Amino acid sequence: MTAPALPASLVENPRLDRWIAFQPDRTVRIATGKVEIGQGVVTAIGQIAADELDLPLDRVAVLSGSTTYGPDELYTTSSLSIMVSGGSVRLVCAEVRAKALERAALRLNCSPDDLTVADGQFLQNGQATGQDYWTVAGEIDLSQAVTGSVKPKPAASYKLVGQSVPRIDLPAKVSGAAYLHDVLPADVLHARTLRQPSRGATLAALDEAAIRRAAKGELQIVREANFVAFVSPVESVAEAAAAAAPQHVKWNNVRRIEPAAQEAAWLKGQPAEDRRLGAPEPATKPKRLVEITVSRPYVAHASMGPSCALAEFRDGNLSVRSHGQGMHPLRKNLSVALGLPIERITADHLHGPGCYGHNGADDAALDASLIAMKIPGRCIRLQWRREEEFGFEPVGPAMLVTLHVDLDERGRPADWTTEIWSATHVQRPGGGSGYLLATEALANPPPEVKPTDPPVERGGGGTRNAIPLYDVPAHRILHHLVQRPPVRTSALRGLGALPNVYAVESMMDELASRAGEDPVAYRLSILSEPRARKLIELVAQRSNWKARGPAGTGKGLGIGFARYKNSAAYAAVVASVTVSESVAVDRVWCVADAGLVVNPDGARNQLEGGIIQALSWTLKEQVKLDSEGIASRDWDSYPILRFSEVPDIHAELVDGAGNPSLGVGECSVGPTAAAVGNAVAYALGVRIHDMPLSRERIMAALLKV
Amino acid sequence: MDIAFKVNGEARQVGVPQTASLLEVLRNHLGLMGTRYGCGLEQCGCCMVLVDGEPAYACTREVGTVAGRNVTTIEGLGSQAKPHPLQQAFLDEQAGQCGYCLSGILISAKALLDRTPNPTRAEVVAALDKHLCRCGAHQRILRAVERAAVKLRNAPVGARRAT
């Protein structure tokens, strides 16, 4: 018999005991490499396991992000947790359930088919048999590899999957006990760093005496090459030292940048690796070429809590606790960066403030580890300062996107080129480059990592959603991967999807307008995908699109649509805006198709969160630079959307119709930005191509009307 | 000299400088970790506590200024086992994602409802506008505060104040 293709996580982690363990307190521990970042994944994985094992949810304990017990599933990214980790847990549980029933049947001298499972107990003809998972657990060899040969239950039999089960982590989070940041062992030492201003900068002088005077308390200053940290039993002493340090240090070789580099327009003409993907160049010259250029600046993850980590180096072993998005990769990278054998390192995930991508969490773990190895036997709690979080986390790259679309005689796209200028979206150290921020400050920094972009088949990075889902006979991508951006860039929710969808959907409205057609009708005329069509029709209904009124009145509706990565969930969004000197978003309607939804309320929460974050990026956010780097280092200089600016949101998931689960966490981001852009264009009668849609840009656009 | 004040109804004394931040005293000296550090600049609201019933940023508040006063933190509202109606309403609405901002928001919501038991949506928004939430749970949070208001108005008078 041929086993079906296994999810990547099971290929990499085949042993059943990496995923499941029967515990003496009559619970089952399910381990996942994906971590809770506020998206509800721990609850959803629990629902999947409980259903497959016929257990109530409270008998399933989900262990997330443990390098000692749990599987290596790389990072918690790309809206893949339910599809990949959830899919893996489902197969593992189905197989272990079958093995358990086989053992019980042997004991009971019956066929496994005679047995049913209720609350983990095995019943025969509805009667208790005295056998359950825990009585036979010792006879199941969980060191075996998963085969994937046991078919999971049919969706129709699910009891918990598909239900809006309340998040299991939320009660702790509304009552004050929850995060890594709050773990404070008795003899903990608090630490802060003095950041090297840029790669290559060298420490010329550090006035330790002045820093000690400012710190006003017991202080250790840890130095290794150009890495400096302040350590104290009293947190405010370490903090005061770090706050004072920039006035008492001299750096050489600090990289200077042009402040103009903060704008996306700077990207054009910079050294870049150029790629051409998709259809060959058309043989004939374009006849009816339409071009549009949009941009998005550098944007921050802007987590509510600065990055933090705990590390302890004892008897040659390093234990690290982190709120990063992948503990196995962190462990590998710490091993490389510290030159410590990997067997001597453990990394465990504890919950942290939402990160929305690759922020400073992993870097903080190396900072803490470097300090811990200098002060063995003590637990080091390292926390970044607020200005450090804004100033040194990798940011979402600025992007410039130009669409070159040649039309047929009916005004439909005949040939489509998406041309992209962007720095890399992926600088996670991944499988072991060892590249974490503080390595740049060490004596032998690792070589600079060559910028890359993931293959389009895997969703791409700068190229994410560059290809529209509409029916276009020929399309290609010209990708200019800018080699040396002014600041470190990496993954931020949606990667290139937001600017690319903004571009594609702006183009759709432009083309509809040229054709003299309604934007919804125009889209439907070139969209054959039934699931996509249904969403666009539905969101038009929900928003009463037909009654949207004339253009140029200062009020308007706009639509945006995409299927995230062209492979995950579909989302269609309509935004209603009022534009005077600035943009107020009044209402947002979103309908999404994510196939089988494990936790509908959790998925809606993700849609809503994506909408609000995208509104914030689209309307307000831009990382500001000065000659030394990131200048926007607090919430006044980096404002985000506030309660008074949040619109009324209607988010809805359509019936999954028997389709498998599709990642939902990032699908609303691009369509929301696009819907707002189109609504503003309709309200003003003139399009604003560059994000954020700030007051200055509105005023400039109004002068053009 | 020790500084004496009440936290969540309980008399506490700490031997720290007058200028120490209330946030650090609560977290590192009194073990009340629910009040969170966000920015240290009164810009995000993660550290909000009540001082004599009024919302105050614990990050910049010098502990010397709360001597003899009543401080309420998130732990003073309720616990997982016995949540305050506001905390229960946040669970009922699943109002949160990462949850890091929630301690401060719950504190400001409590101050609002203590003062204004029947707030309009605009009043709830105004009371929470100094708080930032990065996950985008705003709409659920507003609904949760309104839900709690209804519940508290219908509750017997004695049950309204947890501290």
**A385 touches B at CB < 8 Å:** yes
Q: DSSP for A606-635?
A: HHHHHHHHHHHHHHT----EETTEE---ST
CB contact under 8 A, B100 and A353: yes
- Contact in structure between A485 and A264 (CB atoms under 8 Å): no
pLDDT digits (tens, 9 = 90+) for A15-38: 999 999 999 999 999 999 999 999
A422 near A451, Cβ under 8 Å? no
B100: nearest CA partner in chain A: A353
The predicted structure's pLDDT at residue A383 = 98
Which residues does residue A478 pair with via DSSP β-bridges, in sequence order?
Answer: A276, A419
pLDDT tens column, A127-137: 999 999 999 99
Handedness of CA A178, A182, A185, A186 (dihedral sign): negative
Residue A477 reports pLDDT greater than 90: yes
The pLDDT of residue B63 is 98
Check whether A681 has a pLDDT greater than 90. yes
CA–CA separation, A681 and A352 (whole Å): 39
The pLDDT of residue A703 is 87
**Are the CB atoms for A422 and A397 separated by under 8 Å?**
yes
Q: Is the pLDDT reported for residue A181 higher than 80?
A: yes
Cβ neighbours, 10 Å, residue A256: 10
Whole-number pLDDT of residue A302: 98
Distance from CA of B157 to the nearest CA of A (A): 23
Indicate the pLDDT class of residue B163, thresholds 50, 70 and 90: very low
Set of chain B residues whose Cβ sits within 8 Å of the Cβ of A646 = 136, 138-139
Spatial distance between the Cα atoms of A460 and A474, rounded to a whole number of angstroms:
19
What gap in Å lies between CA A411 and CA A392, rounded to an integer?
47
A651 lies within 8 A of chain B by CB = no
Total Cβ atoms within 10 A of residue B76: 24
Q: What sign has the CA pseudo-torsion A347, A350, A355, A361? A: negative
Share of chain B above pLDDT 70, in %: 96
Closest CA in chain B for residue A602: B94
pLDDT in tens, A276-315: 999 999 989 999 999 999 999 999 999 999 999 999 999 9
Beta carbons within 10 angstroms of residue A648's beta carbon: 12
Q: What are phi and psi of B72, to 5 degrees?
A: -120, 130
CA distance B16 to chain A (A): 11
pLDDT of residue A587: 98
pLDDT over threshold 90, residue B99: yes
Residue A614 has pLDDT above 80, yes or no: yes
CB B8 within 8 A of CB B84: no
Helix (H, G, I), strand (E, B) or coil at A598: coil
Residue A447 pLDDT: 85
pLDDT of residue B162: 45
Over residues A617-638, the pLDDT tens digits come to 999 999 999 999 999 999 999 9
Residues whose CB falls within 8 Å of the CB of residue A589, separated by 6 or more in sequence, listed in order: A539, A542, A543, A573, A574, A650, A652
- Please tell me what DSSP assigns to residue A28: E
Q: CB distance B46–A176 less than 8 Å?
A: no
A634 in B contact zone (CB under 8 Å): yes
Contacting residues for A437 by C-beta, under 8 A, at least 6 apart: A195, A360, A363, A366, A367, A392, A488
Strand-pairing partners, residue A277, are A477
Per-residue confidence (pLDDT) for residue A242, from 0 to 100? 98
**Arch. (CATH architecture) of A399-426+461-704:** 2-Layer Sandwich (3.30)
CB contact under 8 A, B140 and A385: no
For CA atoms A239, A244, A249, A254, the dihedral sign is positive
CB contact under 8 A, B138 and A303: no
pLDDT over 90 percentage in chain A:
95
A45-66 per-position pLDDT tens digit: 999 999 999 999 999 999 999 9
Q: Is A665 on the interface with B (CB under 8 A)?
A: no
Nearest CB among B43, B134, B141 relative to A636 is that of B43
pLDDT in tens, A502-543: 999 999 999 999 999 999 999 999 999 999 999 999 999 999
List the single residue in A164, A178, A635 with the smallest CB-CB distance to B99. A178
The residue-averaged pLDDT of B67-81 equals 98
**A603 and chain B in contact, CB less than 8 A:** no
Residues 289-308 of A with CB under 8 A from B: 302-306
Evaluate whether A389 touches A300 at the Cβ level (below 8 Å).
no
Looking at the domain covering A182-253+301-392, what would its CATH class be? alpha beta
The token duo for A582 is: 């600035």
The residue assigned the tokens 């200019």 is: A480
* Strand extents, DSSP E, B8-156: 10-14, 48-51, 54-57, 70-72
Q: Do A182-253+301-392 and A8-160 have the same topology in CATH?
A: yes
Does the pLDDT value for residue A3 go beyond 70?
no
Q: What is the mean pLDDT of residues A438-463?
A: 93
Q: Could you read off the pLDDT of A412-423 as tens digits, one per residue?
A: 999 999 999 999
* pLDDT bracket for residue A119 (50, 70, 90): very high
Angstrom distance (rounded) from CA A455 to CA A703: 42
Among A174, A306, A605, beta carbon nearest to B102: A174
**Rounded Cα gap, residues B131 and A640, in angstroms:** 11
Question: In sequence order, what are the residues at sequence separation of 6 or more whose Cβ sits closer than 8 angstroms to the Cβ of residue A349?
Answer: A35, A36, A64, A65, A66, A321, A322, A323, A324, A327
Write down the residue that tokens 């309720």 correspond to: B78
**Domain limits, chain A:** 8-160, 182-253+301-392, 399-426+461-704
Element housing B74 (H / E): helix B74-77
The rounded distance, in Å, linking the Cα atoms of A231 and A224 is 14
Per the prediction, chain A carries an average pLDDT of: 96
Q: Find residue A275's DSSP bridge partners.
A: A479
Integer Cα distance of A320 and A299 in angstroms: 29
Amino acid making up residue A449: V
- Structure confidence at residue B156 as a pLDDT band (50, 70, 90): confident
Predicted local distance difference test score (pLDDT) of residue B157: 66
pLDDT at B159: 54
| CB within 8 Å: A170 and B41 | no
3-state secondary structure (DSSP) of residue A278: strand
Q: Are A329 and A396 in contact (CB under 8 A)?
A: no
3-state secondary structure A468-482: CCCCCCEEEEEEEEE
Check whether A246 has a pLDDT greater than 60.
yes
What pLDDT score was predicted for residue A178? 82
Strands A583-593 and A570-579: antiparallel
pLDDT digits (tens, 9 = 90+) for A306-364: 999 999 999 999 999 999 999 999 999 999 999 999 999 999 999 999 999 999 999 99
In this structure, what token pair is assigned to residue A557? Answer: 């509706």
- For A136-149, what is each residue's pLDDT tens digit? 999 999 999 999 99
Residue with tokens 């509105």: A698
Q: How far B10 CA sits from the closest chain A CA (Å)?
A: 17
Mean pLDDT across A235-239 = 98
Residue B32's closest chain A neighbor by CA? A176
Q: Which of A174, A601, A611 to mutate to test the interface with B (most CBs of B within 10 A)?
A: A174
End-to-end CA distance of chain B: 27
Task: Identify the pLDDT of residue B155.
Answer: 83
Query: Which chain B residue lies closest to A383 (C-alpha atoms)?
Result: B37
- The half-sphere exposure of A5 on its side-chain side, counting CA atoms within 13 A, is 3
Shortest CA distance from B141: residue in chain A: A643
Going by CATH, does the domain composed of A8-160 fall within 3.30.365.10? yes
Residue B103: list chain A partners with CB under 8 A: 176
Poorest-pLDDT segment among A30-34, A218-222, A445-449: A445-449
What is the rounded CA–CA span in Å between residue A221 and residue A208?
Answer: 8
Q: Is the pLDDT of residue A161 over 80?
A: yes
Match 């508290």 to its residue by tokens: B152
Across chain B, what does the average pLDDT equal? 95
pLDDT of B158 reads 58
- Distances in Å between the Cα of A324 and the Cα atoms of A37, A68, A354 are 9, 16, 10
CA distance A45 to A154: 17
d(CA A688, CA A670): 16
Q: Do the chains contact at B80 and A306, CB–CB below 8 Å?
A: no
Per-residue pLDDT reduced to its tens digit, B1-10: 799 999 999 9
Banded pLDDT at B134 (limits 50, 70, 90): very high
Angle, in degrees to the nearest 10, between helices A87-108 and A41-53: 30
Predicted confidence (pLDDT) at residue A208 exceeds the cutoff of 60: yes
State the sign of the Cα–Cα–Cα–Cα dihedral A639, A642, A648, A650. Answer: positive
Nearest to A594, CA basis, from A148, A37, A39, A38 = A39
Q: Between chains, do B132 and A608 touch, taking CB under 8 Å as contact?
A: no
| pLDDT given at position A449 | 85
What is the spatial distance between Cα A517 and Cα A540, in angstroms, rounded to a whole number? 15
CB contact under 8 A, B134 and A611: no
User: Which DSSP state fits A437?
Assistant: G
Phi first, then psi: what are they for B112, rounded to 5°?
A: -60, -50
What's the pLDDT at A431? 65
Q: β-pairing, A220-224 with A413-422?
A: unpaired
What is the set of domains in chain B, with CATH numbers?
A: 3-76 (3.10.20.30), 78-156 (1.10.150.120)
